Amino acid sequence: MAKEIKENDQIIERLILVAVESEPLSGGMTTEACLDELAELVETAGAETVGKVIQKREKVHSGHYLGKGKIEEVKTMVRALDATGVVCDDELSPAQLKNLEEMLETKVMDRTMVILDIFAGRAISNEGKIQVELAQLKYRLSRLAGFGASMSRLGGGIGTRGPGEKKLEVDRRYIKERIAELNRDLKEIETHRELLRGQRRKKGTPVVSLVGYTNAGKSTLLNYLSNAGVLAEDKLFATLDTTTRKVELPGGSEILLTDTVGFIQKLPHHLVQAFRATLEEMKYADVLLHVVDASNPQRQEQMKVVYETLRSLGCEQTPVITVFNKMDREVEMPLPLDEKARMQVQISAKNGVGIEEMLSRLETLLKSFRRCTTALLPYTEGRLLGWVHGRCEIIREEHTAEGILLEAYVDEEAENRLAPFAVQAETH
């Protein structure tokens, strides 16, 4: 096309980021690291960071987040730097948001709005879009109280994307109706997903999930292993949808490898709720590959956030292999010892170093979970034989005078059904 398409008519937002640092730090990331991460989020959302302010305070001001003096300072900064808005690192209450906007005389956002905005811009699948809209509407509904009748936030940019176009006409009832509708759609998708899960289970192929902090390299690893063509880029939350690919392990067995949304500290509550179905996929994994960006100075804090998120999803029992990725970069040694993991490996998803070994060790671990059974099935048990074929991996099958001698990897149900015919395995 000859016509030049302007990327966007909107002016790029110039934002000042603010955070409150209260002592003692809660053991996680430093406030500076949090603000750096917020700056990355802002950039991913298409805006620019023009200033950062940290206020040391015993706790966040319940009425207007920052103290009065600091607000004056930020207000002066807004004018001096020609900023178009302010972003707070914590989720603000409706009252805090309203008061701050009035006192600063500029648009105020919080971390949640930025993350929701990124998600809105990135959701591709039907399910992803529904989940994001649901999270945004619930967030908006919870804020409606503070704004009375008017919910409009004029101008473009962060906080206005996604279903936001309709926001001017939006009222509480509409939001509630829409939420109910979206919930119904999601239910339908979940039923379908459950069906697929059942089919997968039947085949007995182990499911391995990639988990990890956003930008750790999960999609890059999946692409390396399967040419999946999943979007991998140096942006936070590059992936929102779940992709599953079949991957062959060095010994010839197969797994289903799943890549999904990454974690981040202070992941908005509404988003976790909306994405619960996607995230819960991890619950059905036999093993989690926890991908860590070993070159990131905050790697240990990021690992902690991942474990906390896994716990909140009820996945703390699933065996974990910790995969220290990006080892081709400059990496501070020694690597942290991850006591929760079954093993830890070092790889580079970019150049492939260490991946073969990671797969062999994964294969060994998966094999150790499976039990092997030998059974002698009479020729009259044709139906059971067919069922075992559909469900289990057969290692040996011999037609003998007494029946079919079968050696197979079994799960609990298969083991139970084969129990009446079990025989001692011959030792070769």
Ligand X SMILES: Nc1nc2c(ncn2[C@@H]2O[C@H](COP(=O)(O)OP(=O)(O)OP(=O)(O)O)[C@@H](O)[C@H]2O)c(=O)[nH]1
Closest distance to ligand X from the beta carbon of 118 (Å): 10
Q: Which is nearer to ligand X, 236 or 305 (CB)?
A: 236
Residue 219 interacts with Mg ion (CB under 5 A)?
yes
Residue 354 interacts with ligand X (CB under 6 A)?
no
Window 194 to 233, contacts with ligand X (CB under 6 A):
212, 214-220, 232-233
Closest distance to ligand X from the beta carbon of 202 (Å): 29
Among residues 74, 170, 238, 410, the one that binds ligand X under rule CB under 6 A: 238
Q: What is the dihedral of CA 10, 12, 14, 15, to 10 degrees?
A: 80
Q: Which is nearer to Mg ion, 182 or 230 (CB)?
A: 230
Contact mark string toward ligand X, 328..347, x via CB under 6 A: xx------------------
Residues 6 or more apart in contact with residue 317 via CB below 8 angstroms:
none
Contact mark string toward ligand X, 240..279, x via CB under 6 A: ----------------------x-----------------
Answer with the entry of Mg ion, ligand X, none that 348 interacts with (C-beta below 5 to 8 A by kind).
ligand X
**Where on the phi/psi map is residue 48: left (φ > 0), alpha (ψ -120 to 50), or beta?**
beta
Closest distance to ligand X from the beta carbon of 289 (Å): 11
- As a whole number of angstroms, the distance between CA 180 and CA 130 comes to 11
Residue 243 interacts with Mg ion (CB under 5 A)?
no
Residue 14 interacts with ligand X (CB under 6 A)?
no
Q: What is the dihedral of CA 382, 383, 386, 390, to 10 degrees?
A: -160
Among residues 31, 49, 99, 239, the one that binds Mg ion under rule CB under 5 A: 239
Answer with the entry of ligand X, Mg ion, none that 350 interacts with (C-beta below 5 to 8 A by kind).
ligand X
Q: Which listed range, 32-40, 60-68, 234-242, 406-414, lies at the site for Mg ion (CB under 5 A)?
A: 234-242
Task: State the DSSP string of 250-301.
Answer: TTS-EEEEEE-PPB-TT--HHHHHHTHHHHHGGGG-SEEEEEEETT-TTHHH
Among residues 19, 236, 274, 362, the one that binds ligand X under rule CB under 6 A: 236
Answer with the entry of ligand X, Mg ion, none that 329 interacts with (C-beta below 5 to 8 A by kind).
ligand X
Window 91 to 150, contacts with ligand X (CB under 6 A):
none
Q: How far is the CA of 391 from the CAs of 220, 222, 314, 414, in angstroms?
A: 31, 26, 27, 8
Q: Which is nearer to ligand X, 101 or 281 (CB)?
A: 281
Task: State the DSSP string of 313-378.
Answer: TT-TTS-EEEEEE-TTS---SSPPP-TTSSEEEE--TTT-TTHHHHHHHHHHHHHHH-EEEEEEE-
Among residues 170, 326, 381, 403, the one that binds ligand X under rule CB under 6 A: 326
Q: What is the dihedral of CA 93, 278, 242, 157, to 10 degrees?
A: -20
Residue 41 interacts with ligand X (CB under 6 A)?
no
Answer with the entry of ligand X, Mg ion, none that 23 interacts with (C-beta below 5 to 8 A by kind).
none
CB 381 within 8 A of CB 418: no
CB 71 within 8 A of CB 101: no
Strands annotated E in 104-189? 107-110
Q: In 210-229, which positions are buried (b, 16+ CB within 10 angstroms) versus exposed (e)?
A: bbbbbbbbbbbbbbbbbebe
**Both tokens assigned to 330:** 């400059």
Interface contacts to Mg ion, rule CB under 5 A? 218-219, 238-239
Binding residues vs ligand X (CB under 6 A): 212, 214-220, 232-234, 236-239, 262, 325-326, 328-329, 348-350
